[in-house]
Chains A and B, each alone.
Chain A
Amino acid sequence: MERGVAHVALFAALIAALGVVPPITLGFGVPITAQTLGVMLAGAALGARRGAAAATLFVVLVLMGLPLLSGGRGGLGVLAGPTVGFFLGMIPAAAVTGFCVERLPIRNAGLAAGLGAFIGGVVVLYTFGIVGMSVVLERTLSEAFVLSLVFVPGDILKAAITGLLVAALAKTRPQAIAWNRAHRG
């Protein structure tokens, strides 16, 4: 049980750290960071339950007022802002990513993780994100979709990187990836 708590907490810290580390700002002040990579990785490495727990812990800490979102954002205001769906969607995104890597009938760990990260971290995350944006900004769903289209290529790239990372992890530390079939035998 201690291991579970420690893994969840360290991955929540990793999501937070990835919001700080590579601050590449594209366009007019919209930060593109590796934060969603952390969410995908939490699901892909820890599985559905613990991945979702790590994302939940991160979300709770941001709401309690720690500036852990990329660009040093945080606090309750996130809930009233246009990115609320992308923020709360981190939890189902990690859960679905984890669910996919656990259930998809793919033996290759990297491939399963990449595909899972795409379904969870792009399809599910954007579903929540677009709904949130359409409510706050009073757009139709298709208008909100167009508004968030800019970020899709970056997030697809992050899903691919998640696959590469998990493939590397499966080689260097197979016992770390809880759901790893090759390790399970």
Chain B
Amino acid sequence: MISLVSPVRTRAHRWPAGGKLLAVCIATTLLFPVQDIAVQLAAAAVVGLLYALPGRVFLKAGLRSLRPLLPFVVILLLWHAVTRDVGDGVRIVLRMVTLVALANLVTMTTTLAEMMDVLHRVLGPLRRLGMRTDRIEIGVALVVRFTPVLVARASALSLAWRARSLRRPGWRLMVPLVLSAFEEADHVADALRARSLLE
């Protein structure tokens, strides 16, 4: 499966994941209530610099992951242009884009395996209380494995429909898709039991 981790190796790839997560949490908490637009502008500049340092490829990937924010930026700026003062709108937009970009930096420099390690450590206290956290870890692996399987199943069903009908496939394709998910789950359950993974 495609990952959001940047193939461009940066220094931050080697930093411990827990530290990066903590730093972003602190920065977000500190930055969120700041009303001063100059501070927000400075923060945005710093984050922009962090994106620019590893080079063009990294910067472009970073900007791409900010694109879903664009409609909200447009609406908010238009809204403030019409009703309230534009400065306030700029401050809110800046803060939102900066914080999302900052959090994305962690995602771009931390692999799934490292994140799993953090999750394992965070769940440690629950494990000592007797909770079966290994189910979560097996669940993560299963989702990573079966999402592409279900996507392929869905497109195969869609092709089969198109071969037989001129109409577009609608929600009806969901019935065999969900049935196959149930069937697949039964096979997986048998396989897990056979391997005693959840004993």
Q: B100 near A77 (CB under 8 angstroms)?
A: yes
- Majority SS of interface residues in chain B? helix
Contacting A67 at CB < 8 Å: which of B2, B136, B181, B188? B2
Q: Given the interface contacts A9-B146, A165-B175, does A75 sit within 8 Å of B115 by beta carbon?
A: no
Q: Are A77 and B104 in contact (CB under 8 A)?
A: yes
> Is A147 close to B, CB under 8 A?
yes
Tell me if A41 is interfacial: C-beta within 8 Å of chain B: yes
Bound: A7/B135 CA distance, A: 12
Contacts of B115 in A (CB 8 A): 64-65
| Stretch from B36-44, B51-59, B106-114 forming part of the interface with A | B106-114
Contact indicator A3/B186 (Cβ below 8 Å): yes
Interface size on B, residues (CB 8 A): 71
Binds B, one of A15-23, A103-111, A116-124: A15-23
Contact (Cβ within 8 A) A66 B179: no
Contact call A77/B139, Cβ cutoff below 8 A: no
In the complex, are the beta carbons of B100 and A81 less than 8 A apart? yes
Q: Which of A76-103 contact B (CB under 8 A)?
A: 76-83
For the complex, what is the distance from the CA of A137 to the CA of B92, rounded to whole Å? Answer: 6
For residue B198, CB closer than 8 A to chain A, the reply is: yes
**A6 B142 Cβ-Cβ under 8 A:** yes
Nearest CB in chain A to that of B93: its residue = A137
Query: How far is B107's CA from A16's CA once the two chains are assembled, in angstroms?
Result: 18
What are 29 residue pairs bridging A and B, where the CB atoms are less than 8 Å apart in the complex?
A1-B198, A2-B197, A2-B198, A7-B185, A10-B188, A13-B142, A13-B146, A17-B151, A20-B151, A28-B71, A29-B70, A34-B174, A57-B139, A57-B143, A60-B119, A60-B136, A65-B4, A75-B106, A76-B21, A77-B103, A79-B103, A81-B100, A83-B68, A165-B171, A165-B178, A169-B175, A169-B178, A169-B179, A172-B179
B residues at A contact (CB < 8 Å): 1-5, 21, 24, 28, 65-72, 74-76, 88, 92, 96, 99-104, 106-108, 110-112, 115-116, 119, 135-136, 138-140, 142-144, 146-147, 149-151, 154-155, 158, 171, 174-175, 177-179, 181-182, 184-186, 188-190, 192-193, 197-198
